[in-house]
């Protein structure tokens, strides 16, 4: 009876305090407008209307919903603070927690085992009740399906662009920059480093020797770092310098390779290919 009474008191304390959690990826904020501020205002309004003491609102900015909640810096602080203050967790929507059902359900189970309840401020879900658990499971499944559909559309669009010879995403390699239409155009300063690497390779220099020479000459990688043999090897094998587009797309367990002439200007000629 004493243990039961203690648990009841703990639940009452958690019902009086809450931690808000907000998350947005760069793409979502740009496309939907439901940014951090919108989510936080909704959580604060809900907390006030329901009589919660809102301890804090913690954000994960620019973090994909496909990532594991327990691996995010912001959500990790939410869990630690909720345990310390015996507080519930308030979300704008459950898809802020995760878009993969297994990630969302696992996170909820971990929190519930620690006595932490989760509520959505815009959806009729309270994981402290059996009905809330059931509704959460349904919505988590729908979110997972939505994520998969978005991923398939994204891959399909990139694949179509690559099949037409266009630059289908990823960072522009050293020697190029993105043009106004999302394609590639030559960056003359960086291209000089790319040509220097090819020149050294054509003289028979090893990858290590090329890396040492480029570093000694003050030439930097795309990220501004030192050169290493692996970096040099990747540069010399990059098909984009030959004016080609090469991508490998993975979807539903199937792999599709696209390697064809691109619509950008080459830095090397075909005759210089290793």
**Could you give the residue numbers annotated as active site?**
25
Nearest-angstrom CA–CA distance, 140 and 95: 7
* Alpha-carbon torsion angle 24, 27, 32, 36, nearest 10: 20
Nearest-angstrom CA–CA distance, 40 and 96: 12
Residue 54's nearest CA partner among 62, 43, 65, 63 is: 43
- Contact call for residues 99 and 144 (beta carbons, < 8 A): yes
Helices 207-216 and 229-237, packing angle to 10 deg: 100
Nearest-angstrom CA–CA distance, 220 and 18: 48
Nearest-angstrom CA–CA distance, 93 and 88: 15
């Amino acid at each position: 009876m004493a243990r039961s009474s203690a648990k009841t008191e703990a639940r009452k304390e958690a019902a009086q305090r809450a931690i808000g959690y907000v998350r947005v990826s760069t793409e979502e904020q740009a496309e939907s407008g439901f940014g951090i501020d919108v989510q936080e205002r909704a959580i604060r309004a809900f907390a006030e209307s329901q009589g919660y003491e809102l301890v804090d609102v913690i954000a994960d900015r620019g973090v994909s919903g496909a990532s594991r909640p327990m691996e995010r810096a912001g959500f990790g602080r939410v869990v630690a603070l909720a345990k310390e203050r015996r507080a519930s967790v308030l979300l704008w929507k459950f898809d802020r927690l995760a878009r993969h059902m297994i990630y969302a359900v696992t996170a909820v189970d971990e929190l519930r085992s620690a006595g932490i309840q989760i509520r959505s401020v815009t959806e009729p879900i309270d994981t402290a009740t059996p009905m809330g658990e059931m509704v959460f499971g349904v919505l988590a499944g729908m979110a997972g399906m939505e994520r998969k559909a978005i991923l398939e559309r994204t891959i399909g669009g990139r694949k179509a662009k690559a099949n037409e010879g266009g630059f289908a995403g990823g960072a522009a390699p050293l020697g190029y920059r993105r043009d106004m239409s999302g394609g590639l155009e030559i960056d003359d300063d960086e291209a000089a480093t790319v040509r220097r690497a090819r020149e050294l390779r054509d003289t028979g220099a090893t990858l290590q020797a090329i890396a040492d020479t480029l570093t000694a000459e003050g030439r930097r990688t795309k990220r501004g770092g030192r050169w290493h043999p692996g970096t040099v090897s990747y540069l010399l094998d990059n098909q984009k310098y030959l004016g080609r587009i090469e991508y490998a797309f993975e979807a539903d367990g199937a792999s599709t390779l696209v390697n064809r002439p691109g619509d950008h200007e080459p830095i090397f000629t075909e005759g210089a290919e290793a």
